[in-house]
């Protein structure tokens, strides 16, 4: 598909942990583009229906914009308006690897592409296509939240199951909000291995042990 647009395209990635304001920043950029009378399309992963439902990108503070839910990069390709000036994609970590050549092609065709996503999973490891997207982007903004344990900058997503840290071998994808996740710093982040005791590990958070 050829995207005709005289403007110079680029890729912007807003990355970081949960509760760091990624979706809020994407929404802010989308709204500014709309004010500037750019033709904007917004897509999001179909896995995320929190806050405002499936057909909106919503931030934790209640701000929202209309969005098209997709479950693959191919769905975005089929639905992209060839006259779009700006394409925004939220929760990009849930998409397949083909999103990388897709957005690269869009940017080369003159489209401004804005992506937001969590760059590490609950284990603290690279999440989905986010590392590759950050590598090909012209602009990367990595946001931080506040660690709920010690108050330092949070760079990790702490998954909790019944109030305890999820084990390393838990499924990578589990959509949730404050009931299932906390923002934590490197020191307070806990991911028990199979041979570790969750109770002991959990009780040691914030104690320096």
> Using one digit for the tens of pLDDT, what is the confidence trace for 15-63?
999 999 999 999 999 999 999 999 999 999 877 655 556 767 877 667 7
**What tokens does 1 get?**
């598909």
If asked whether residues 32 and 67 sit together in one domain, one would say: yes
If asked whether residues 19 and 114 sit together in one domain, one would say: yes
If asked whether residues 31 and 118 sit together in one domain, one would say: yes
- Rounded to whole angstroms, how far apart are CA atoms 181 and 93? 16
| pLDDT of the residue at 171 | 83
Supply the Cα-derived Rg of the chain in whole angstroms.
18
If asked whether residues 58 and 119 sit together in one domain, one would say: yes
| pLDDT of the residue at 58 | 75
Is 80 exceeded by the pLDDT of residue 66?
yes
> What's the total number of domains in the chain?
2
- Quote the domain boundaries for residue 87: 10-143
If asked whether residues 40 and 16 sit together in one domain, one would say: yes
CB 95 within 8 A of CB 128: yes
At 180, the pLDDT band (50, 70, 90 cuts) reads confident
User: Within 10 Å of residue 165's Cβ, how many Cβ atoms?
Assistant: 22
Is 80 exceeded by the pLDDT of residue 6?
no
The verdict on pTM exceeding 0.75 is yes
Domain presence at residue 4: no
If asked whether residues 27 and 68 sit together in one domain, one would say: yes
Is 60 exceeded by the pLDDT of residue 137?
yes
- Rounded to whole angstroms, how far apart are CA atoms 25 and 121? 20
pLDDT average, residue stretch 88-95: 96
**Which one is catalytic: 91, 125, 196, 199?**
91
Domain presence at residue 208: no
- Rounded to whole angstroms, how far apart are CA atoms 32 and 132? 26
Say what the alpha-carbon torsion angle 40, 16, 28, 72 is, to the nearest 10 degrees: 20
Antiparallel, parallel or unpaired: β 40-45 and 68-70: parallel
Whether residue 66 lies in the annotated active site: no
If asked whether residues 135 and 193 sit together in one domain, one would say: no
Residue with tokens 């709204």, as numbered in its chain: 31
If asked whether residues 137 and 159 sit together in one domain, one would say: no
Is 80 exceeded by the pLDDT of residue 2?
no
Domain presence at residue 2: no
Last-in-domain residue among 143, 174, 189: 143
| pLDDT of the residue at 5 | 44
If asked whether residues 122 and 38 sit together in one domain, one would say: yes
If asked whether residues 169 and 135 sit together in one domain, one would say: no
| pLDDT of the residue at 162 | 87
- Rounded to whole angstroms, how far apart are CA atoms 104 and 112? 10
Q: Point out which residues pair with 157 in neighbouring strands.
A: 183
| pLDDT of the residue at 4 | 46
CB 205 within 8 A of CB 188: yes
pLDDT average, residue stretch 186-192: 96
Domain presence at residue 1: no
- Rounded to whole angstroms, how far apart are CA atoms 53 and 75? 19
Q: Alpha-carbon torsion 146, 149, 152, 157, what sign?
A: negative
Domain presence at residue 150: yes
**Residue 30, SS3 per DSSP:** helix
Domain presence at residue 66: yes
If asked whether residues 152 and 115 sit together in one domain, one would say: no
Mean pLDDT of the chain: 87
| pLDDT of the residue at 193 | 82
At 178, the pLDDT band (50, 70, 90 cuts) reads low
- Rounded to whole angstroms, how far apart are CA atoms 8 and 192? 47
If asked whether residues 192 and 179 sit together in one domain, one would say: yes
CB 43 within 8 A of CB 71: no
């Amino acid at each position: 598909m050829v995207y005709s647009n005289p403007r110079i395209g680029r890729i912007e990635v807003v990355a970081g942990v949960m509760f760091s304001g990624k979706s809020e920043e994407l929404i802010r950029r989308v709204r500014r583009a709309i004010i500037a009378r750019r033709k904007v399309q917004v897509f999001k992963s179909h896995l995320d229906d929190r806050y405002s439902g499936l057909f909106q990108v919503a931030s934790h503070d209640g701000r929202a914009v209309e969005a098209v839910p997709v479950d693959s990069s191919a769905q975005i390709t089929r639905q992209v308006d060839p006259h779009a000036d700006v394409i925004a994609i939220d929760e990009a970590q849930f998409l397949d690897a083909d999103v990388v050549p897709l957005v690269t092609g869009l940017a080369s065709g003159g489209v401004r592409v804005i992506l937001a996503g969590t760059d590490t999973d609950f284990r603290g490891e690279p999440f989905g296509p986010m590392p590759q997207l950050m590598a090909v982007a012209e602009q990367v903004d990595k946001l931080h939240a506040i660690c709920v344990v010690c108050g330092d900058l949070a760079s990790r997503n702490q998954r909790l199951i019944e109030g305890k840290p999820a084990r390393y071998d838990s499924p990578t994808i589990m959509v949730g909000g404050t009931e299932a996740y906390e923002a934590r710093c490197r020191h307070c982040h806990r991911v028990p291995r199979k041979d570790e005791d969750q109770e002991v590990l959990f009780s040691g958070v914030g104690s320096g042990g």
